Amino acid sequence: MVRTVECRSVGAARAVVALIRVRVGADERILFEAEGICEGTIEFSPRGARGFGYDPIFVPIGFDKTFGEIDEGAKDRISHRGIALEKLISFLRDFSASSLDEVKFSPVESAV
């Protein structure tokens, strides 16, 4: 009797990206940093034509499709890049709101 064992997945994987915004110059400092993490598994056989790099072999936890098969909108919400970018967007919204509160408006004098 011959038994065939099919190994579908290589094992656990983690996709990580870091974003950082630095002020350069005399007042050099880190203004913002964020990390995006997406847990998943790696498949032996590539599936899907979307994305790039490891997208056709990376299956995020909770999905049975690779990043190469998932539509872009869903991928943007769950991917490590999407998670980090959402943190950046939130920071920029908060930063913009607090910056506007600090702006002192002065009346413009007429040149006439």
Boundaries of every domain in the chain = 9-101
Q: In this predicted model, what pLDDT tens digit does every residue of 2-32 receive, in sequence order?
A: 444 344 556 889 999 999 888 888 888 888 8
pTM above 0.75, yes or no: no
What pLDDT score does 52 carry? Answer: 84
pLDDT at 81: 92
Nearest to 49 by CA among 68, 26, 23: 68
Report pLDDT for 93. Answer: 86
The rounded mean pLDDT for the chain is: 81
Examine the pLDDT at 108 and tell me if it is beyond 60.
no
49-55-56 Cα angle (round to 5): 50
Contact 47, 67 (CB under 8 A): no
Residue 95 phi, psi dihedral angles, 5° rounding = -65, -45
> What one-character DSSP code corresponds to residue 25?
S
Cα–Cα distance list, 25 to 21, 32, 83, 91, 96 (Å): 13, 16, 29, 22, 22
CATH code, residues 9-101: 3.90.950.10
Q: What is the identity of the amino acid at 101?
A: D
pLDDT of residue 106: 44
Q: What is the pLDDT of residues 29-73, one digit of tens each?
A: 888 899 999 999 999 899 999 888 889 999 999 999 999 999 999
